[in-house]
C-alpha cells in the first residue's frame, strides 16, 4: 500500500475507497441516506454513491482511486459531470472524491464550471482531493477504526425450518386505477428488474411529495413496496417496520394482515408472528398464506406430524403451505414427507427456486440417512482398497440405485440454481450450489463439487457454510495456507458448528511453529461437543488430539482427555490402542505393551 508521510495510506482497491468515502461523507454531511449506487446491469456508471431520499435534489459522489497522484484535469471533471447527468436522476450536488493531487487553479475551474452549468440539473459541482480527504480523516479519526469492521450479513446456506415468504403489496381486492396508482406501479416495476434503489427513490418521492393526495389503499402500496425493496437489499428490520405501518392503513385487508405477521417473523419475534398467524387462519379460513405463516413460526416443540393434522386438507396443496411443510418435515428427519410436499410445491411453482431447493435437500438427505449413497464429507479420493464396494458383491447394485436418487437431487439443485439466478436471489443461489456440491461429493465427483463450492464462495464471501466448504476444498488441494485463512474467516463469521474441527485438522497437517498448539486446543474444544464433529470423524478427532498433545509433551492432558471419554463414545479397543501409542511416545514400553494386550483382549470374542 502506498503511503505519503505523514498522511494516511491509500486504499488498496476501488471497492475499499468507495466504502471509506461512504462512511466519511455520511458522517461529515450528517446524511445517513447516502448509499453505494448499485447498477444490476454492471454498465459504466457516472456515480458511486447517491442519496436515496424523497428530497427534490439529491447528493451524489464519484469515487476516483488512482495508482499515482496525477492531477485531476478540467476535462476529466466535465466528463464525470456529463456521465452523472446522463443517468437522468434528480442530482443537485455532485462531488468527485479522488486520490489525485489538488491541481493548481482548481477552485477557479470549479467556479467557472458551476457558473456555466446553471441551466443544468446539477446545481453544485465539488471536488475532494486526497488532501481534503486526509483533513476529514483527521477530523473523524474513528472512521478508520470502524472502517471494514462492521458485521457482514450471512446468507442462509443450511437447510432449516424457515422459509422466507414474500410480502404481498397489492390489496386482495384491487380498486379502479388512477394516475397516482399508475405512478406507484411504475416505481414498483423497478423491483422486477432488481433495481431496488430506483424503486425506493420513486416510492420515497411519492411518500414525501404526494402523500396527502394518496388514498389509504395507495398509501398501503407505497409502504409495502418500499418494505419489499428494503428486504431485497437485506434490511429486514426496515422492511418489517414498513409492513407494520402499512397494516394500519388497511387493518382488515388480508394481505396487510399477513404482511404484519411476516414483519414480526423478520424481526425475530416468532411467538408474536405465530400468535398473529393463528388468529389470521381463523379470520381468513381459505388463506393458504396465513397457514404458511402459522406453520413457519410454530414452536420447535410442535412436530411436523402434529402440525400437518391441523391443516385443512384443501390447503395442503397450496404452494406456500407445501414448501413450509417440507421444511418442517426436513427438520424432523421425515424425508419421505418432505419429498412429498416439495414435489407438490415444485409442481405448483415450477419456475421458483425454493421448491426445487427443498426437493433436492429432501432427496439427498433421505438417501444419505438411508446409506444409499456416499456420505457428504470432504471431496477426497477414495483408494480402491478402502472402497467398501470393492469387497461387497451386493454393494454395486445398491450404490447404483442410491446414485440415481442422488443424481435426481443434483438435477433439482441445478434447477434451483437456474431459477435463483433469474430471480436475483443470492442466498438461494448459494444454497443451491452448496447442495449440489454435497450431491456431487456423494457421487464422488470431487472436481465438480470443488467448482460449485468455489462459485458459492465467490457469491457470498462472508457466509460461514460456503467459507468452510471452500476451506475443505483448498485443504484437499494442498493449499494449506489459503485453507487456514479461509477457515479462520469462517470461524470469525460464525454459524457453522464444525469450523473449529476443520481448522484444527488443517493446522495439524501444516504443522508450522504454533500450529500444533492451536490445533490441540481446537480439537479438545470440538471433542467436548461431539455434535460439532462430522459423523464418523470422532475417533480420528480424538486420535489427532492425543497425537498433538503428545508431540507437545503435554502427556497428562492427553491422559486426561482419554479418561474423559467413556466406552459409550469410543470402543474399548480404540481407547486401549490410543493409550498404547501414548505410552510409546513417552518411552514407557512396558506400559505400552500392557495397553496393547488390553486392546487385543477387547478384540477377543
DSSP conformation letters of 522-540: HHHHHHTSGGGS-TT-HHH
Q: Torsions phi, psi of 203, nearest 5?
A: -70, -35
The pLDDT of residue 389: 38
In angstroms, the CA 325 to CA 329 distance is 6
* DSSP state for residue 70 in the 8-state scheme: P
Grid cell at residue 117: 452549468
Neighbours of 543 (CB within 10 A): 16
The pLDDT of residue 395: 47
The pLDDT of residue 66: 84
Report the interhelical angle of 464-476 vs 446-459 (nearest 10°). 140
Of the candidates 414, 429, 318, 320, the one whose C-alpha atom is nearest the C-alpha of residue 360 is 414
Residue 357 CB-half CA count within 13 A: 28
Q: What is the dihedral of CA 58, 33, 241, 243, to 10 degrees?
A: 30
The pLDDT of residue 393: 42
Report the interhelical angle of 353-370 vs 395-423 (nearest 10°). 160
SS3 readout for 250-269: CCCCHHHHHHHHHHHHHCCC
- CATH architecture group of domain 14-146: 3-Layer(aba) Sandwich (3.40)
Q: CATH number for 164-268: choose from 1.20.120.640, 1.10.10.10, 1.10.490.10, 1.25.40.10.
A: 1.25.40.10
Q: Mean pLDDT per segment of 10 residues, for the chain of length 605 residues?
A: 52 79 90 82 71 91 83 87 87 91 84 78 88 87 52 31 74 71 91 89 92 93 94 88 94 93 92 94 92 90 86 89 90 89 92 92 86 44 34 48 86 93 82 88 85 80 78 81 89 84 90 87 91 84 91 91 85 89 88 88 75
The pLDDT of residue 189: 92
Q: Give me the residue label for grid cell 493531487.
A: 101
SS3 readout for 157-174: CCCCCCCCCCCCCCCCCC
In angstroms, the CA 283 to CA 104 distance is 72
The pLDDT of residue 44: 62
The pLDDT of residue 382: 28
DSSP H helical ranges for 150-303:
179-192, 196-209, 216-232, 236-247, 254-266, 270-283, 288-296
The pLDDT of residue 261: 94
In angstroms, the CA 29 to CA 22 distance is 10
Q: Give me the residue label for grid cell 419475534.
A: 269
In angstroms, the CA 198 to CA 418 distance is 26
Beta-strand pair 91-98/34-36: unpaired
The pLDDT of residue 150: 28
The pLDDT of residue 509: 83
Domain boundaries along the sequence of the chain: 14-146, 164-268
Amino acid at each position: 500500500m502506498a503511503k505519503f508521510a505523514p498522511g494516511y495510506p491509500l486504499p488498496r482497491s476501488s471497492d475499499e475507497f468507495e466504502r471509506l468515502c461512504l462512511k466519511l461523507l455520511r458522517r461529515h454531511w450528517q446524511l445517513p441516506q447516502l448509499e453505494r449506487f448499485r447498477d444490476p446491469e454492471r454498465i459504466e456508471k457516472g456515480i458511486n454513491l447517491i442519496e436515496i431520499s424523497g428530497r427534490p435534489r439529491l447528493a451524489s459522489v464519484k469515487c476516483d482511486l488512482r495508482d499515482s497522484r496525477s492531477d485531476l484535469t478540467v476535462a476529466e471533471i466535465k466528463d464525470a459531470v456529463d456521465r452523472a447527468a446522463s443517468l437522468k436522476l434528480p442530482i443537485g450536488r455532485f462531488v468527485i472524491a479522488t486520490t489525485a493531487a489538488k491541481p493548481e487553479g482548481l477552485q477557479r475551474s470549479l467556479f467557472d464550471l458551476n457558473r456555466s452549468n446553471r441551466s443544468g440539473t446539477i446545481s453544485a459541482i465539488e471536488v475532494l482531493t486526497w488532501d481534503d480527504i486526509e483533513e476529514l480523516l483527521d477530523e473523524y479519526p474513528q472512521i478508520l477504526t470502524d472502517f471494514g469492521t462492521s458485521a457482514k450479513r450471512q446468507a442462509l446456506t443450511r437447510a432449516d425450518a424457515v422459509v422466507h415468504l414474500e410480502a404481498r403489496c397489492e390489496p386482495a381486492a384491487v380498486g379502479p386505477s388512477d394516475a397516482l396508482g399508475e405512478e406507484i406501479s411504475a416505481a414498483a416495476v423497478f423491483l422486477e428488474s432488481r433495481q431496488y434503489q430506483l424503486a425506493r427513490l420513486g416510492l420515497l418521492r411519492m411518500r414525501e411529495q404526494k402523500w396527502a393526495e394518496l388514498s389509504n389503499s395507495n398509501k398501503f402500496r407505497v409502504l409495502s413496496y418500499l418494505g419489499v425493496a428494503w428486504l431485497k437489499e437485506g434490511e429486514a428490520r426496515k422492511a418489517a417496520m414498513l409492513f407494520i405501518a402499512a397494516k394500519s392503513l388497511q387493518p382488515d385487508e388480508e394481505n396487510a394482515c399477513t404482511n404484519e405477521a411476516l414483519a414480526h417473523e423478520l424481526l425475530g419475534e416468532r411467538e408474536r408472528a405465530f400468535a398473529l398467524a393463528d388468529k389470521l387462519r381463523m379470520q381468513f379460513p381459505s388463506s393458504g398464506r396465513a397457514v404458511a405463516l402459522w406453520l413457519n413460526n410454530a414452536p420447535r416443540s410442535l412436530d411436523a406430524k402434529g402440525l400437518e393434522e391441523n391443516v385443512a386438507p384443501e390447503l395442503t396443496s397450496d404452494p406456500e403451505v407445501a414448501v413450509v411443510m417440507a421444511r418442517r418435515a426436513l427438520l424432523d428427519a421425515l424425508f419421505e414427507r418432505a419429498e412429498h410436499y416439495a414435489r407438490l410445491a415444485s409442481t405448483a411453482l415450477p419456475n421458483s427456486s425454493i421448491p426445487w431447493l427443498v426437493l433436492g435437500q429432501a432427496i439427498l438427505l433421505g438417501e444419505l440417512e438411508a446409506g444409499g449413497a456416499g456420505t457428504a464429507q470432504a471431496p477426497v479420493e477414495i483408494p480402491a482398497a478402502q472402497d467398501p464396494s470393492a469387497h461387497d458383491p451386493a454393494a454395486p447394485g445398491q450404490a447404483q440405485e442410491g446414485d440415481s436418487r442422488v443424481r435426481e437431487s443434483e438435477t433439482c439443485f441445478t434447477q434451483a440454481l437456474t431459477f435463483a439466478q433469474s430471480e436475483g436471489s443470492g442466498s438461494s443461489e448459494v444454497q443451491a450450489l452448496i447442495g449440489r456440491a454435497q450431491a456431487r461429493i456423494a457421487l464422488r465427483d470431487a472436481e465438480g463439487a470443488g467448482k460449485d463450492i468455489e462459485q458459492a464462495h465467490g457469491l457470498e464471501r462472508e457466509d460461514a457454510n460456503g467459507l468452510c466448504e471452500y476451506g475443505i476444498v483448498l485443504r484437499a488441494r494442498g493449499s494449506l495456507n489459503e485453507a487456514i485463512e479461509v477457515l479462520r474467516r469462517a470461524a470469525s463469521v460464525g454459524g457453522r458448528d464444525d469450523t473449529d474441527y476443520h481448522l484444527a485438522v488443517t493446522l495439524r497437517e501444516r504443522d508450522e511453529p504454533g500450529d500444533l498448539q492451536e490445533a490441540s486446543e481446537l480439537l479438545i474444544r470440538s471433542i467436548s461437543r461431539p455434535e460439532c464433529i462430522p459423523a464418523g470423524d470422532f475417533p480420528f478427532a480424538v486420535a489427532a488430539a492425543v497425537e498433538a498433545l503428545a508431540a507437545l509433551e503435554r502427556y497428562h492432558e492427553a491422559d486426561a482427555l482419554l479418561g474423559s471419554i467413556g466406552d459409550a463414545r469410543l470402543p474399548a479397543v480404540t481407547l486401549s490402542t490410543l493409550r498404547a501409542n501414548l505410552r510409546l511416545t513417552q518411552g514407557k514400553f512396558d506400559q505400552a505393551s500392557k495397553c496393547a494386550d488390553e486392546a487385543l483382549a477387547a478384540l477377543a470374542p
